[in-house]
């Protein structure tokens, strides 16, 4: 039985909080900005149009979409993800291709984090009345799912991996020699009872997958070094996925004023490493458990911002959870805690990639997922039955090289097959007939270099196609084709409504 929702004190504070807004430029200058008659003044945004959109969005604090954003139609059309009417709002169904994309992202992010931190696994449900946990609930700006067991005990579903990792750290023997101590978990799933009006597609959900990494550090000096290291780790993650940095994001940093005044040089260092000005939110006093937090925000087609990468200085929870380390003077001391998600929720990564592809199409490019993430990398289109044996031979060579390939063996015209392959965002499309059998040269439609109404066709042999794809994929994770190889065997998932 679901318990009546209790709103956290942090959420109540968030609704009342008064912020001052600034732009911190690459020279370390702080420009105060404010909204006047629907415009944001105080800084020259002419070279930074997305930063202006980000500032407008944050100052307005309006999260509701007036209409459906483009990625929702794309996630359905591409048969990736859909709403699940049989569940609570914000809980989605993933079709084979969508599960494939999500798995690949999870695998890559988890692998990168495993090179940095120790992986753990913790429960998704916790005692609502546990003293440390209940206090933390009121310090985090999120709404929780609260349920009662048959024994009348109340539990809540986690909204992050913090609880399990903090309780684990509480039981550990930690020396100053172990610091920074790094733990991470890829939470499948975390839960937040978001307001229904704010739920939309893959952007804002009630159940989501979050890579959550905590570092326990001695003090701010060690913490700042660690945060900068994690900043660079996040760059590696997001570049690997397929984003352009810093072009595809806007940096936002939230400070308590005292922290900023004491650590101005650190703020400048982050902005310089980012490479373009950042939006700053400043508070006179601390409302939450953190003293400083940065976010990388994606600006979508509706000019709304979504935080993906985030890290923060937590100054409360070591004491709240009675987490200690033993210093060189043999005294027990509380560490500071850093909270990092080097990609943000996996679902939000998918949302950002789809929105980015849609915006590319509006700018004359062919929208697509990165080649390493594309469920089908190559689709072969035989002109007639007599070409099937040759097509299957080509497919075998591609498969042996670890490339995901499908064969359109349906009784359709070639123009229709080509059209449907384009609609599916297949990166490489090859029509094979008599000429190709005789020459062993393949006319490859290269989506990445094509325009919506103009194909880029490159003639190459199989080995050249393999080399091209491998150059795009690099050492990213691989997984088999998530659907049957033959198109005639593939069911249509997004059909009956």
Cα–Cα distance for residue pair 241/373, rounded to 1 Å: 8
Cα–Cα distance for residue pair 265/57, rounded to 1 Å: 27
Task: Output the pLDDT for position 2.
Answer: 43
Residues 6+ apart with CB under 8 A from 330: none
Q: What are phi and psi of 151, to 5 degrees?
A: -90, 10
Pick the CATH number of 9-362 from 3.30.1360.30, 1.10.3080.10, 3.40.50.300, 3.30.930.10: 3.30.930.10
With a threshold of 0.85, does the pTM exceed it?
yes
Q: How far is CA 1 from CA 150, 208, 257, 432, in A?
A: 9, 22, 43, 59
pLDDT tens-digit profile, the chain (497 residues): 444 455 555 555 555 678 899 999 999 999 999 999 889 999 999 999 999 999 999 998 877 788 899 999 999 999 999 999 999 999 999 999 999 999 999 999 999 999 999 999 999 988 888 877 777 666 655 677 888 776 678 888 888 899 899 999 999 999 999 999 999 999 988 998 888 778 899 999 999 999 999 999 999 999 999 999 999 999 999 999 999 999 999 999 999 999 999 999 999 999 999 999 999 999 998 888 899 999 999 999 999 999 999 999 999 999 999 999 999 999 999 999 999 999 999 999 999 999 999 999 999 999 999 999 999 999 999 999 999 999 999 999 999 999 999 999 999 999 999 999 999 999 999 999 999 999 999 999 999 999 988 999 999 999 999 999 999 999 999 999 999 999 999 999 986 55
Hey, where are the domains in the chain?
Answer: 9-362, 371-489
CB 403 within 8 A of CB 426: no
Cα–Cα distance for residue pair 19/281, rounded to 1 Å: 6
DSSP state string for 110-153: HHHHHTTSEE----SEEETT-HHHHHHHTTS-----EEE-TTS-
Whether the ω angle into residue 246 lies within 30 degrees of 0, i.e. cis, is yes
Q: How far is CA 373 from CA 114, 370, 426, in A?
A: 20, 5, 11
Quick one: which of 39, 77, 53 has its CA closest to 306?
53
Instruction: Determine the length of the chain.
Output: 497
Under CATH, to which class is 371-489 assigned? Answer: alpha beta
Q: Which helix (H) or strand (E) holds 166?
A: helix 162-170
Residues 6+ apart with CB under 8 A from 471: none
Strand segments (E) across 247-386: 250-256, 278-283, 290-299, 305-314, 325-326, 332-333, 336-341, 378-382
């Amino acid at each position: 039985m679901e318990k009546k929702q209790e709103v956290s004190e942090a959420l109540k504070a968030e609704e009342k909080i008064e912020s001052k807004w600034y732009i911190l430029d690459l020279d370390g200058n702080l420009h105060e900005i404010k909204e006047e008659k629907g415009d944001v003044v105080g800084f020259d945004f002419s070279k930074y149009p997305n930063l202006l959109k980000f500032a407008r969005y944050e100052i307005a604090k309006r999260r509701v979409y007036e209409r459906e954003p483009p990625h929702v139609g794309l996630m359905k059309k591409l048969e990736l993800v859909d709403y699940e009417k049989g569940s609570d709002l914000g809980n989605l169904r993933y079709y084979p291709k969508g599960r494939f994309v999500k798995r690949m992202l999870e695998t890559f992010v988890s692998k990168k984090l495993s090179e940095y931190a120790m992986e753990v696994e913790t429960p998704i449900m916790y005692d609502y009345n546990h003293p440390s946990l209940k206090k933390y609930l009121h310090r985090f700006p999120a709404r929780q799912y609260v349920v009662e067991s048959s024994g009348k005990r109340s539990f809540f579903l986690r909204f992050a991996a913090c609880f399990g990792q903090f309780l684990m750290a509480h039981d550990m023997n930690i020396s100053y020699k172990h610091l920074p101590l790094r733990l991470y978990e890829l939470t499948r799933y975390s839960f937040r009872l978001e307001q229904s009006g704010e739920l939309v597609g893959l952007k804002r959900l009630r159940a989501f997958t979050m890579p959550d990494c905590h570092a326990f550090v001695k003090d701010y000096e060690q913490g700042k070094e660690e945060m900068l290291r994690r900043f660079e780790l996040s760059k590696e993650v997001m570049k690997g996925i397929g984003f352009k940095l810093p072009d595809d994001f806007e940096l936002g940093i939230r400070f308590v004023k005292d922290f900023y005044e004491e650590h101005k040089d650190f703020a400048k260092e982050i902005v310089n490493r980012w490479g373009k000005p950042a939006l700053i939110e400043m508070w006179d006093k601390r409302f939450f458990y953190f003293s400083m937090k940065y976010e990388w925000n994606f600006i979508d087609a509706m000019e709304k911002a979504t935080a993906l990468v985030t890290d923060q200085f937590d100054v409360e929870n070591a004491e709240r959870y009675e987490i200690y380390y033993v210093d060189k003077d043999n005294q027990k001391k509380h560490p500071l805690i850093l909270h990092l998600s080097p990609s943000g929720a996996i679902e939000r990564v998918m949302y950002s990639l789809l929105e980015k592809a849609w915006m590319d199409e509006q700018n004359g490019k062919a929208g697509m997922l990165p080649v390493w993430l594309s469920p089908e990398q190559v689709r072969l289109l035989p002109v007639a039955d007599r070409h099937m044996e040759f097509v299957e031979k080509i497919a075998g060579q591609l498969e042996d090289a670890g490339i995901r390939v499908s064969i359109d063996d349906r009784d359709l015209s070639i123009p229709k097959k080509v059209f449907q392959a384009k609609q599916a965002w297949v990166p490489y499309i090859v029509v094979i007939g008599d000429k190709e059998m005789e020459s062993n040269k393949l006319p490859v439609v290269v989506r990445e270099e094509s325009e919506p109404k103009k194909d880029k066709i490159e003639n190459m042999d199989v080995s050249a196609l393999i080399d091209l794809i491998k150059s795009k994929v690099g050492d990213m994770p691989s997984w088999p084709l998530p659907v049957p190889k033959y198109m005639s065997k593939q069911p249509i998932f997004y059909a009956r409504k």
